[in-house]
Structure 1
Amino acid sequence: MPRINVTSVLVDDQAKALAFYTDVLGFVAKTDVPVGDYRWLTVVGANEPDGVELLLEPDVHPAAKAFKQALVADGIPYTSFAVDDVTSVHRELTARGARFTQEPTPAGPVVVAVLDDTCGNLIQLTSPA
């Protein structure tokens, strides 16, 4: 059966994205291979070195920027990450400089918060309620 090994988030600047996803969100750099003008640049969860890789993919496709802008304009997160406790992670990430567009909010069986990844995306964090 298929399994997810790499997923991506479209970013406007790979170096800035790497700094945000590692320094602020706490991911760890996994793969960094030059590919023409860009890089195959992935991060993984700090406690999951062999887990699913997140590709910090350049948003150079003609439709990418418009797609991202439309999602942000409508307040729709590009992707979602699970955490153990959204409220405590919100405090920690705010102290590290993350800007949230939605504070921790109960939503049925989960608590959600949404942050700006500084690279053109909104990212949702979720934890059990």
Structure 2
Amino acid sequence: MTTDLAGLVSVRYLVDDVGSALAFYTKHLGFTVRTDFTPAFADAVRGNLRLLLSGPASSAGRPMPDGTKPGPGGWNRIHLIVDDIAAEVSRLRDAGVRFRSDIVTGPGGQQIVLDDPSGNPVELFQPA
């Protein structure tokens, strides 16, 4: 695992509950805890991806000058490569993970989008 921040690509997700999000990513998607400052913030690593999990108490969760509150959700997402998408989907469905769709097949491979506990999307992708 790379611990040098310069060697990692960082993506921030706003989450409702840092502990639940950290458990989700480590238990279901193969991330390893890097730091844990629950309830405000934690980060986890998978390969060269550093996922920053920022809760409402984190600096990233503070309202903007116009009062808008940052929150989870949307369609931008991290993209995780898997070897057997059908097996991964089956394993995750058995664990109660919520999917936004069924597996979609395109020219580059197969993909499916799931939600973390806060509603942030994660794409699983199996190349063709």
TM range (shorter): 0.7 to 0.9
The residue aligned with 2:84 is: 85
Deviation of 1:14 after TM superposition, in Å, equals: 0.3
Counterpart Cα distance in 1 of 2:100 and 2:17: 21
- For normalisation by structure 1, the TM-score amounts to 0.73
Structure 1 position 11 matched with structure 2 position 21: no
The residue aligned with 1:128 is: 127
Q: What SS does the aligned partner of 2:23 have?
A: helix
Seen in structure 2, the aligned counterparts of structure 1 residues 44 and 4 have a Cα distance that, compared at 3 Å, is closer
Structure 1 position 31 matched with structure 2 position 35: yes
The residue aligned with 2:50 is: 53
Q: What SS does the aligned partner of 1:12 have?
A: coil
- Percent of residue pairs identical: 32
Deviation of 1:7 after TM superposition, in Å, equals: 2.2
The unaligned stretches of length 5 or more in structure 2 are: 1-5, 64-68
Q: Which amino acid aligns with 2:92?
A: L
Q: Which amino acid aligns with 1:38?
A: A
Residues 111-126 of structure 1 correspond to what in structure 2 (within 5 A)? 111-126=110-125
Query: What per-residue deviation string (whole Å, max 9, x for no partner) do you get for residues 59-96 of structure 1?
Result: 5243422xx45x2xxxx243322222222211111122
The residue aligned with 1:20 is: 24
The size of the alignment, in residue pairs, is 114
Counterpart Cα distance in 1 of 2:84 and 2:76: 19
Q: What SS does the aligned partner of 1:111 have?
A: strand
The unaligned stretches of length 5 or more in structure 1 are: none
Seen in structure 2, the aligned counterparts of structure 1 residues 21 and 15 have a Cα distance that, compared at 3 Å, is same
Q: Which segment drifts farther, 78-87 or 102-111?
A: 78-87
Deviation of 1:117 after TM superposition, in Å, equals: 0.6
* Structure 1 or 2: more strand by fraction: 1
RMSD: 2.3
